[in-house]
Amino acid sequence: MSKCKGYAALEARAPLGPYSFERREPREHDIVIDIKYCGVCHSDIHQTRDEWSAYQEESIFPMVPGHEIAGIVEAVGSKVTKYKVGDKVGVGCFVDSCRTCSECRQGLEQYCTVGTIWTYNGRDKEGKPTYGGYSNKIVVDENYALRMPENLPFDACAPLLCAGITLYSPLKHWNAGPGKKVAIIGLGGLGHMGVKLAHALGAEVTVLSQSLKKKADGKRLGADHFYATSDPETFTKLAGYFDLILNTVSAEIDWNQYLNLLKTDGTMVVVGLPEKDVPLAAFSLTARRRSVAGSQIGGIRETQEMLDFCAKHGVACDIEVVPIQKINEAYERVLKSDVRYRFVIDMASLGKE
Ligand code: NAP
Ligand code: ZN
Ligand code: ZN
């Protein structure tokens, strides 16, 4: 076991503070990563506040969050072939899976039927809690690490590992591209990556935000259109307009109102994970043979494809780098939709309190 330091919530809803813990000694196929940056996902807030208890077996405290991890390989196990010391690597939302079920064999480890092993707030194959990237080091099997773009700023690539792949996967699955009208609801961490990626894929992109405050940013990120959902006219003007809507909102909103914006055979994909259930009217779907679907991050293969796509198209995240001591403040700002557009923790700040 090796000693690690990080930041944890000691119990549900507690503010995060310094925390020491242990990680396993590297096994034959493990790499040890010196974490340089970790993105702050709204899921970190939901989980440290135990807002998903209705949908999860347990929440494990103390909880060290963080699943947008960018770091440098510091050591490798004896049988590692994919990475060497000094490589720039990433770790996303999961660190292992059963590897044998049909989903795992298809590269859909995030839907492993035996159980995806989450990067934090999960249990490894020995039943021990996993700890995430708000920490100085992580030990992970080489098959669950990613190769990071060489040509883009390292800190701005960390959030690709969750925000990036969570939007890339449904955009690809539902064929976003030239001639397709795509809407992104919510211009936060996920949403801003949705705009950049849908634009890079050649789709017509519309942002549906609560107000027009972020309009200039939306256009700069690649949006063709930008509407405020606080304006009731938005919903009459855009009725029946979209092929695909990606809903990234972290709170409960009226899905029926947004389904009405889909054309015949259109799909709304839910990626935002609010605390409470959202009611759905049958008529919202039957009226135009519409679908509502969900999507969860992406598998290792697709995450690597997304990172390579971003390297090729020069796509990284818009970030605000913060020291880890500011993490509780950053959470409050995310909750107020006051982030442009992802906080990234500079891990060099760890231990400097
Ligand atoms: P975020 O940065 O907070 O962005 C969410 C955006 O939603 C906000 O910026 C805001 O955009 C909008 N919003 C917030 N509250 C709203 C409200 N009450 N009504 C209408 N719009 C509201 O969060 P994130 O990190 O992008 O994550 C978004 C959600 O996705 C979270 O629930 C997270 O847990 C979930 N998530 C899911 C997956 C997955 O695999 N499915 C992966 C990662 C995260 P505007 O200011 O533009 O209105
Ligand atoms: Zn996330
Ligand atoms: Zn599996």
Report which residue type is found at 319: I
Atom of ligand 1 nearest to the CA of 252: 18
Q: Are 281 and 220 in contact (CB under 8 A)?
A: no
Spacing of C-alpha 295 from chain mean position: 11
**For residue 51, how far is the Cα from the chain centroid?**
17
Per the omega criterion (within 30 degrees of 0), is the bond before 341 cis? yes
**Atom 1, ligand 1: residue with shortest CA distance:** 188
**Which residues fall within 8 angstroms of residue 215, CB to CB, at 6 or more apart?**
209, 226
Integer Cα distance of 73 and 134 in angstroms: 17
Mean pLDDT over 255-260 rounds to 98
Beta bridge partners of 130: none
Ligand nearest to the CA of 341: 1
Residue owning tokens 């989980």: 47
Tell me if 296 CB under 6 Å of ligand 1.
yes
Q: How confident is the model at residue 325 (pLDDT cuts 50, 70, 90)?
A: very high
Half-sphere exposure for 130 (CA within 13 Å, toward CB)? 24
Helix axes 189-200, 163-173, angle to 10 degrees: 40
> β-strands 342-346, 204-209: how paired?
unpaired
Question: Within 10 Å of residue 288's Cβ, how many Cβ atoms?
Answer: 14
Can you tell me the mean pLDDT for 82-102? Answer: 98
Closest CA to ligand 1's atom 29: 272
As beta bridge partners, residue 6 has 19, 135
Q: Which atom of ligand 1 is nearest to the CA of 296?
A: 40
pTM metric for this prediction: 0.98
The ligand whose atoms approach the alpha carbon of 332 most closely is 1
342 has which bridge partners?
319
Test site for ligand 1: of 162, 249, 269, 295, most ligand atoms within 8 A of the Cβ? 249
Q: Judge whether residue 184 has pLDDT over 90.
A: yes
Q: Going by C-beta distance under 8 Å and a sequence separation of 6 or more, which residues neighbour residue 9? A: 15, 16, 48, 61, 62, 63, 65
Q: Which 3 state secondary structure label does DSSP give 148?
A: coil
Q: Does the pLDDT of residue 353 top 90, yes or no?
A: no
pLDDT of residue 1: 82
Q: What is the DSSP letter of 107?
A: T
What's the 183 CA to ligand 1 centre distance in angstroms?
Answer: 14
Q: How far is the CA of 195 from the centre of ligand 3 (A)?
A: 31
Do 107 and 299 meet the contact criterion of CB atoms below 8 Å apart? yes
Q: How far, in Å, is the centroid of ligand 2 from the Cα of 84? A: 27
Question: What does the mean pLDDT of the chain come to?
Answer: 97
Confirm if 309 and 121 have CB atoms less than 8 A apart: no
Summarize pLDDT for 12-49 with one digit per residue, the tens. Answer: 999 999 999 999 999 999 999 999 999 999 999 999 99
For the chain, report the end-to-end CA distance as a whole number of angstroms. Answer: 25
